[in-house]
Each structure stands twice: as structure tokens, then as C-alpha cells.
């Protein structure tokens, strides 16, 4: 079966478990690679399930992957349409999500918080579901994260044995709360030499949020070229390592979209660039776009999907 690239149910049960694909409390792993991996594994597991070859455990894995797609959409704040992204009709997809949530109290609580809020004080910023402790915080001070009744992310630093007192600021995605928590935590015990780095990372992630939100949007024509130039401009302005890493991935993703769009239209990259920019693009710019597209496939695409996308890149005409 071509959709699964030769990977059977047993392989997926071993290699496609969500904890192997996503680390929610380590945003440093990046956005694109984690979400692309989740999408790919859901699609391939779904293909095996539809073939009737998979055991019940594979159906449960498919449902769990569906849940984590929804969770990731809130964790990183990207636009998510099940039908457009996975090919599964929205009501059917949500039936998978609910089937998984029914088997996990923790996941059911989180799904309820982001949907009907039967268990939450809806709209109450003071009613907070604890997500967990930052694994990198240690010693006498721990960082805790939560989501409040307004569906915003929160954090607090908690001394051993002390009551939880959440900081009043809220954040639209987990990464923003994570960055703010480490900025706040940094000077708690000593003067932080990297405060400028922390503040720059917070600022630059606010720029990146809009790009993450549009990660799965299909964009073509002259607009994709303008987006590439805008993202390159923001990358050049980044001063933090975290921000530069985020925008390197963003720029690489757009470069891949440029190449894919040129291949689909059967035109040269140079012709596509000429449509989208008044300034003349040099051969060097074209070469960089091709290199970035290959970096994106190599670093941010699930290994199961790389062969067909590498073949697509081979078709591009400079």
C-alpha cells in the first residue's frame, strides 16, 4: 500500500506513538517537524485502518494521533481544519478525538477545556487546569504551566511546598508562556546574564506566531514570493537563538512552498519570482531557495514522506 510506504500496523504501533513525535514541554524541538510528523503518521495509520488490516490497538493509536493534532493546534496556535489537513470529514475526525478522550481522564479534561467547558468556570481567568511542571526547572523552584477558563496559557514559579499563585499575565500559546516563564525565572536566584536574549526571544516569537498560524495554508502566485521576502526580513532582524531557529524553519517552509508551486505550475523558479517581486532575483537567490527547500524536507518532514517530496524537488527548474 503506497500510502504507508511499506510500514505495517506492527511498525506503527512501535514507531508512531505520540510521545515519540511530540515533546510539548520542549518548544526548542521546533514546530514544523513535530506537527508535520503528527499529520503524516495520522494519515498513514488511517490508511492502514481503512484497509481493514489493523488491530484494535491501531484504531486506538489513530484516535490518539487525532487528539494530539487538536492539542497541538491549541499548543502552538495554528489554523486547523481536519478535512483540509487530513482528508477526514470534520465530524468523523472529531469522533476519533472523542473516542480517545473517553479513554484518558487527563486528555478528556483538556479537550473539555478547549471546547464545551463542562468542567471549567467558562471565561474565568482564575480557574486554571494544571498542565504540568517544566522538566528543566529544578532545585527549590519549579515552573508550572496551566490553561485558564479563557483558554489562555499561564505559568507560575513555585517554591517547594508553597501554594500555587499564578502570575496574572496570560498567553495565546504555550510557547509564549514558556518563554515568559524562563524570562521571569532567570533572575530569581541570580542576575541573569542572558536577559537580553530572553526578551528578544519573547519578542521574536510574537512575530513567529502569525507564521505558525498559517503553516498549513496553501498559498501560490505572487503572494508566496512576498511572504518569503517578508519572512527573510524578519529572520535578519532576529537577535535571539530561539527566534533565529524559528524563522529559519519558517523561511525554509516557504522556500519549499515556492518550489512545490513552481513544479505544480510547470514553470521555472525564476519565472515565479519575477511574478512576485519588482526587484530582479539573482541566480544566487534561486539557489538559496532550492537549498532551503531541501533543508526543510530533510529536517522538518516525516521520513515516511521524504522520498516523494525529494522526488518533487528534483523536478524543479531553476
Per-residue pLDDT of the chain (318 residues), as tens digits, is 334 455 889 999 999 999 999 999 999 999 999 999 999 999 999 999 988 777 999 999 999 999 999 999 999 999 999 999 999 999 999 999 999 999 999 999 999 999 988 888 778 888 899 999 998 887 667 899 999 999 999 999 876 666 778 998 999 999 999 999 988 877 554 556 788 899 999 999 999 999 999 999 988 778 999 999 999 999 999 999 999 999 999 999 999 999 999 999 999 999 898 887 656 678 889 999 999 999 999 999 999 999 999 999 999 887
User: What pLDDT sits at residue 124?
Assistant: 82
Q: Residue 159, class by beta-carbon neighbours within 10 Å (0-12 exposed, 13-18 middle, 19+ buried)?
A: exposed
Closest CA to 147 of 43, 47, 240, 24: 24
Residue 77, pLDDT score: 96
C-alpha to C-alpha distance for 166 and 106, rounded to whole angstroms? 21
Residue 265's pLDDT is 92
pLDDT at 70: 97
Q: Measured in whole angstroms, how far is the alpha carbon of residue 127 from the centre of its chain?
A: 26
Q: How far apart, in Å, are the Cα atoms of 271 and each of 136, 284, 317?
A: 48, 15, 10
pLDDT for res 281: 73
**Tell me, what's the pLDDT at 1?**
34
Tell me the whole-structure pTM to 2 decimals.
0.92
pLDDT at residue 119, rounded to an integer? 84
pLDDT of residue 100: 98
Burial 257-267 (b: 16+ CB within 10 A, else e): bbbbbbbeeee
Amino acid at each position: 500500500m503506497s500510502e504507508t510506504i511499506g510500514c505495517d500496523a506492527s511498525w506503527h504501533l512501535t514507531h508512531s506513538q505520540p510521545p515519540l513525535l511530540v515533546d510539548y514541554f520542549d518548544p526548542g524541538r521546533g514546530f514544523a517537524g513535530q506537527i508535520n510528523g503528527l499529520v503524516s503518521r495520522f494519515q498513514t495509520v488511517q490508511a492502514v485502518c481503512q484497509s481493514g488490516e489493523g488491530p484494535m490497538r491501531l484504531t486506538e493509536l489513530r484516535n490518539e494521533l487525532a487528539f494530539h493534532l487538536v492539542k497541538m493546534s491549541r499548543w502552538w496556535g495554528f489554523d486547523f481544519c481536519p478535512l483540509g489537513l487530513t482528508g477526514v470529514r470534520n465530524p468523523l475526525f472529531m469522533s476519533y478525538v472523542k473516542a480517545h478522550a473517553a479513554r484518558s481522564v487527563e486528555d478528556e479534561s483538556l479537550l473539555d477545556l478547549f471546547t464545551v467547558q463542562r468542567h471549567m468556570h467558562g471565561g474565568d481567568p482564575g480557574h486554571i487546569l494544571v498542565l504540568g511542571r517544566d522538566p528543566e526547572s529544578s532545585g527549590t523552584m519549579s515552573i508550572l504551566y496551566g490553561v485558564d477558563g479563557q483558554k489562555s496559557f499561564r505559568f507560575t514559579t513555585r517554591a517547594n511546598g508553597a501554594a500555587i499563585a499564578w502570575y496574572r499575565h496570560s498567553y495565546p500559546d504555550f510557547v509564549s508562556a514558556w518563554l515568559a516563564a524562563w524570562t521571569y525565572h532567570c533572575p530569581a536566584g541570580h542576575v541573569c546574564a542572558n536577559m537580553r536574549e530572553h526578551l528578544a526571544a519573547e519578542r521574536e516569537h510574537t512575530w513567529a506566531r502569525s507564521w505558525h498560524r498559517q503553516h498549513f495554508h496553501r498559498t501560490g502566485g505572487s503572494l508566496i514570493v512576498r511572504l518569503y521576502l517578508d519572512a527573510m526580513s524578519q529572520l535578519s532582524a532576529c537577535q535571539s537563538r530561539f527566534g533565529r531557529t524559528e524563522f529559519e524553519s519558517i523561511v525554509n517552509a516557504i522556500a519549499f512552498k515556492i518550489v512545490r508551486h513552481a513544479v505544480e505550475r510547470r514553470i521555472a523558479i525564476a519565472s515565479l519570482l519575477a511574478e512576485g517581486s519588482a526587484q530582479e532575483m539573482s541566480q544566487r537567490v534561486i539557489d538559496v531557495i532550492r537549498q532551503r527547500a531541501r533543508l526543510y524536507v530533510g529536517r522538518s518532514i516525516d521520513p515516511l514522506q521524504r522520498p516523494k517530496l525529494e522526488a518533487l524537488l528534483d523536478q524543479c527548474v531553476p
